[in-house]
Amino acid sequence: MSTKKKPIVKIEQPKTQSRAAQLHYLAQLRGEVEEERPKLNKKKFAIISLIVLAILAGILVYSTSLFNAIESANVDLKTNSPSLILFLGKGTDVALQGSSEVTADDLTKLNSWSSIMLLIRVIAIGALVIYGLFAIITLLQPKRRKPNRSFWGDLGIYTLLTIIAVAMAFPLVFSIAMSLKPLDELFRFPPKVFPDHPTFDNFSDLIVTMGQSWVPFSRYLINTVFITFVGTFGHVLIASMAAFVLAKYDFPGGKTFFKIVVTALMFTGYVTGIPNFVIMSKIGIIDTYFAVILPAFAAPIGLFLMKQFMESLPNSLIEAAHLDGAGESRIFWSIVMPNVKPAWLTISIFSVQSLWNTNAATVIRTEAKKTLVYALQQIQAGGIARTGQAAAVTVVVMLVPITIFILFQGQIVETMSSSGLKD
């Protein structure tokens, strides 16, 4: 029975006597460290990348011009494109003249090749984006990085990440593009992603419509800002205080209470809507801001996230604070809350998104107390004449939650990379 022998790799003993070099040498002897791959020549890779990108860009430009010429020929029944004339087999003499009529047989041939040109454009755009991102990441990566994958492994991962990023960004891009389309392009079929004649008329019409409301539109905005701010602040505060007690102190019924909180996560707002309305009606807060704010205080997702995050804090940190004479409130505000900043920032994002997008139409009846989303939804319900304004409303409604998420996301990543204490 023959066994395949591994290639002999020469392992040199390090000349330096540092601890790290000796450990690396011993690991190589035991076969725990793979042979280092040759370093990437970034100059050659940059030249090759420029050549590849230039070829892909040329294919994209040529296929786009040919596709546009085909579309124009279908409408005008003539073409001025020398490439298209040669493609139709008219000859070089006609191509040099720069103009040719398109017959019915030519239209049949053009229709069959129009989809092919469109497919080539899509493939060229995808290849440009994917290879461009891969080249940029490869050239900008630090020299100390030792890749543990092959070239094709990296390319596959970057391709997958690019596809996911495009799929996640497409709804946002499409919504913004729809808000910039004039009314005739909004009803075009098949629809185009980007407008041919972008305009801000939809937003200006929305401002005019808001100014015609018998309740000042600023009132709707103030109501929404107040509900969002108070609801988010109270949610974070109550969830943090309750989570601190549940995570760091043992008391009778604590585990049972947390199980109830976990069970409450399974029920959506539609399930608890009627019981909440009955309770709020009994205590007399219907048609007030607190009909929206109080349920936000008791949202179980905040307590669950804070409790799970606070459990990672070392108990020795709190015990040391007790030995130094710190009280419970001092420990909570000066030690616990700064160390769980990622958790309460995440809760703030969830709470802002939920409260900003609520219309509260079932619990608030007075028009002067209603929210901005409710007023904008009434504009959206105006029919075909307000289709452009409805597209603008979609952008306005999602603008604040997305902005809050972008602003907080950087702080969350930075805090999580610089915090995290362990026993």
What angle, 0 to 180 degrees and rounded to 10, lies between the N-to-C axes of helices 387-418 and 151-179?
A: 140
- Per-residue burial over 217-242, b if 16 or more Cβ lie within 10 Å, else e, is bebbeebbeebbebbbebbbebbbbb
- Reported as a single tens digit per residue, the pLDDT across 41-61 is 777 878 888 888 888 888 888
**Which among 191, 172, 197 is positioned nearest to 405, based on CA atoms?**
172
CB 98 within 8 A of CB 86: no
| Degrees, nearest 5: CA angle 18-24-30 | 140
What residue spans in the chain does CATH classification 1.10.3720.10 cover?
203-418
| Prediction pTM value | 0.59
pLDDT top residue among 43 and 258: 258
The residues near 150 (Cβ < 8 Å, ≥ 6 apart) are: none
Residue with tokens 């005019």: 208
Residue 216 has pLDDT above 60, yes or no: yes
CB 231 within 8 A of CB 297: yes
Both structure tokens of 91: 């000859």
CB 361 within 8 A of CB 287: no
- Reported as a single tens digit per residue, the pLDDT across 24-35 is 555 555 554 444
Q: What is the pLDDT of residue 422?
A: 46
Which 8-state DSSP code applies to residue 78?
E
The residues near 419 (Cβ < 8 Å, ≥ 6 apart) are: 339, 341, 342
Residue with tokens 């493609």: 87
Q: Please, is 245 exposed, middle or buried when counting C-beta atoms within 10 Å of its C-beta (0-12, 13-18, 19+)?
A: middle
CA distance 134 to 145: 15
CATH class of this structure's domain 203-418: mainly alpha
User: 91-100, 131-140, 326-335, 398-407 — which is least confidently predicted?
Assistant: 91-100
**Residue 237 banded pLDDT, cuts 50, 70, 90:** very high
Residue 149 has pLDDT above 80, yes or no: no
pLDDT top residue among 75 and 250: 250
Residue 148 has pLDDT above 80, yes or no: no
**Which among 344, 331, 368, 353 is positioned nearest to 405, based on CA atoms?**
353
The residues near 226 (Cβ < 8 Å, ≥ 6 apart) are: 289
